[in-house]
Amino acid sequence: MAELIALIILILSLSWIAYMLWKKIPVLVQLPEIHEGIQKDSIANIIKKKIKNINIDKLIFLKTLSKIRIYILKSEKFIDHHLQKTRKKIVKKQEESRGDKGQSH
């Protein structure tokens, strides 16, 4: 019974695909093969073009980049400091737990 239902669904699906192709083939044949002038640029190319078109003062641009670099370095130092503190706390807790196990015997 399940095979019969599957076969019916398969036949209906294939017939529907054939019907759609039969209706759309004349339209597809009339379309030109190559669409000239329709080219999609990638996102990277669009961004590059927009950056090149921006007229900003080079000095302001360099100052902004320098400030961004400084903030990145400060954040790296902050993260490194907190990682070191966390590592020290973990080592201290591990040493304390080892010492507690040794005293219980």
- Give percent above pLDDT 90 in the chain: 42
> What pLDDT is attached to residue 17?
92
Q: Tell me which residue range forms the domain holding 2.
A: 1-31
Q: Is 36 a domain residue?
A: no
Q: Can you give the pTM of this predicted structure?
A: 0.40
Q: Does any domain span residue 92? A: yes
- 3-class SS at 42? coil
E strand or H helix at 40: none
pLDDT for the residue 35: 59
- For residue range 16-39, what is the model confidence (pLDDT) as tens digits? 999 988 888 888 788 777 655 555
Q: What is the C-alpha end-to-end distance of the chain, expressed in Å?
A: 72
Are both 65 and 101 inside the same structural domain?
yes
Query: Digits of tens for pLDDT over the chain (105 positions)?
Result: 889 999 999 999 999 999 988 888 888 788 777 655 555 667 877 877 777 777 677 788 788 889 999 999 999 999 999 999 999 999 999 998 887 765 655
In this structure, the answer to whether residues 103 and 65 fall within a common structural domain is yes
Q: Do 59 and 27 fall within a single domain?
A: no
Tokens of 6: 């599957």
Cα distance between residue 34 and residue 3, in whole Å = 45
For the chain, the average pLDDT equals 84
